[in-house]
Amino acid sequence: MKFEGSAVLPLAKVDGGQGQLLGSCFPVASRLLATAMHVVGPSDAGLVALTPSISSPQDYQDTTVNSSEYMSVKIVAADPIRDICILEFSNQSNFNLDYDLTGTDIISPGAEVAVYGYPHMDFGRRVVTVQRTHVGAKVLIPNNGVKSKHIVVNTQFRPGQSGGPVFDVQTGTVCAMVTGSYLPTFEGGGGSIIISGVDPNTLHQTGHAISAEYIKEMLP
């Protein structure tokens, strides 16, 4: 399948001229973007999408460049149960999608997927990265009594990858969106610490992504 990194954008919050990188997002319609709800939170105040830094897989991404053009975005639909947020950008640009949104029904464990995102945003590094890996399992995950379709992907996810697309390599379609790593719950709570912004309990070779069919259902 073709390289889709130029379509994946970083999200940030701008306050007082300073920007804080948040996570990844990707186009799902000509003027709409999808990301994970936990990336943006409940408010879109100061929320912006940065323009991609590359247009070709042959481009080198300059890690010394800290500035970027950006466009303001606002929340137009949110599903906190499934951790999905749809954003609309305010300028006059339009995205020409060359992929379709499908869902996790089309793939099986062992299928190859390509995951796009910005894995080191929490350290201020804005480098779109593609990982080729495989689906390890298909699971139903409950939240507030609602079960949602997810795939377990055989690679470790970092916070900046949340909201990035997962492509089915065979069809070239977006089958899922990164939501994060599995975090075990401990009886009575507690039992977890944060080191360099990462919970050590998430340091395992799997990650979760929610079916893109739920994104499709939220589009106007």
CATH number at residue 186: 2.40.10.10
* Position 51 in a domain: yes
Q: Based on C-alpha coordinates, what's the Rg of the chain?
A: 17
Task: Using the 3D structure, point to which of 58, 89, 120 is the last residue of a domain.
Answer: 89
- At 145 the pLDDT is 94
- 73 with 114, same domain? no
- 179 with 209, same domain? yes
Task: Using the 3D structure, point to which of 63, 89, 115 is the last residue of a domain.
Answer: 89
Domains in the chain, number: 2
Dist. CA 21–CA 12, nearest whole Å: 4
- At 186 the pLDDT is 45
* This prediction's pTM: 0.89
DSSP string, the chain: ----GGG-EEEEEEETTEEEEEEEEEEEETTEEEE-HHHH-S--TTEEEEPPS-SSTTPPP-TT-----EEEEEEEEEETTTTEEEEEE-SS------S-B--GGG--TT-EEEEEE-TTGGGT----EEEEEEEEEEEEEEETTEEEEEEEESS---GGGTT-EEEETTTTEEEEEEEE------TTS-----BTTB-GGG-SS-EEEEETHHHHHH--
- At 109 the pLDDT is 97
Lookup result for tokens 């390509």: 114
- 213 with 108, same domain? yes
- 186 with 213, same domain? yes
Q: What's at 157, amino acid-wise?
A: F
Instruction: Give, for all 220 residues of the chain, the pLDDT tens digit.
Output: 788 888 899 999 988 777 889 999 999 998 999 999 999 999 999 999 998 778 788 889 988 888 788 899 999 999 999 999 999 987 767 888 899 999 999 999 999 999 999 998 888 889 999 999 999 999 999 999 999 999 999 998 888 999 999 999 999 999 999 998 765 554 455 555 555 555 555 555 789 999 999 999 999 8
In this structure, the number of other CB atoms found within 10 A of the CB of residue 30 comes to: 10
Tokens of residue 110, six digits:
């062992």
Tokens of residue 116, six digits:
């796009």
Task: Using the 3D structure, point to which of 30, 56, 89 is the last residue of a domain.
Answer: 89
- At 39 the pLDDT is 95
Instruction: Tell me the residue range of the domain where 165 lies.
Output: 104-218
